[in-house]
Amino acid sequence: MEQKLKEKPKKQDTKAKKDKSLNPMRQIKIEKVVFSMGLKESGEVIERVYKLAQKLTGAKPTRTQSTRSARTFRMRRGLDIGVKVTLRREKAEQFLIKSLKGIENNLKKTCFDNNGNVSFGIKEHLDIPGEQFDPTIGIFGFNVNTTLSRGGHRIRRRSLKTQKLPKSIKINQNESIDFFKKNFNVNII
């Protein structure tokens, strides 16, 4: 009886043999892309920027309002001073590809933070391929902010049993750089 217990084959350590990159919960994906344009003034310019944002993204933009009054800038509280659009899923990926072409797929390392966010700006919307000058709109620059996530990110936003993100779910700067190099052929300057 004792011999049978001793002769049992040992179970192999399966965790050491599995590749972590194959785990679907470890896959990095684009959560959202936010297109934003801030202006110094309001009025007719906001309407032109609104049309431009709608044309570039293909989605309905929202106007951002000032939260404080500033006499030096002739702004009062509640005045429209910018436009933003949040894109998700396929629209987000298509817009990101289009806007990365506007900066020739070059990003600085400082564009990436330690939380899985990537931000860059385009000085003129005419840098995007296929865009032409429209005298009724003018020339404007804009910012693109991208948020990356993994499966399990919901635990920090859910209403019941909210928890901190464990280190295995967090996305660091090197992982987000690798994601952009692999999926979007981005060159890091």
* pLDDT tens digits, one per residue of 143-171: 899 999 888 777 788 889 888 887 878 88
Q: What percent of the chain is predicted at pLDDT more than 70? A: 86
pLDDT score of 73: 65
Is the pTM higher than 0.85?
no
Give the domains, in start order, of the chain with CATH numbers: 26-149+165-188 (3.30.1440.10)
Quick one: average pLDDT of 99-118?
88
**Residue 166 DSSP label:** P
Please work out, in degrees rounded to the nearest 5, the angle formed at the alpha carbon of residue 66 by the alpha carbons of 62 and 72: 140
Strand 142-149 with 29-38, pairing: antiparallel
Element (H, E) at 120: strand 117-122
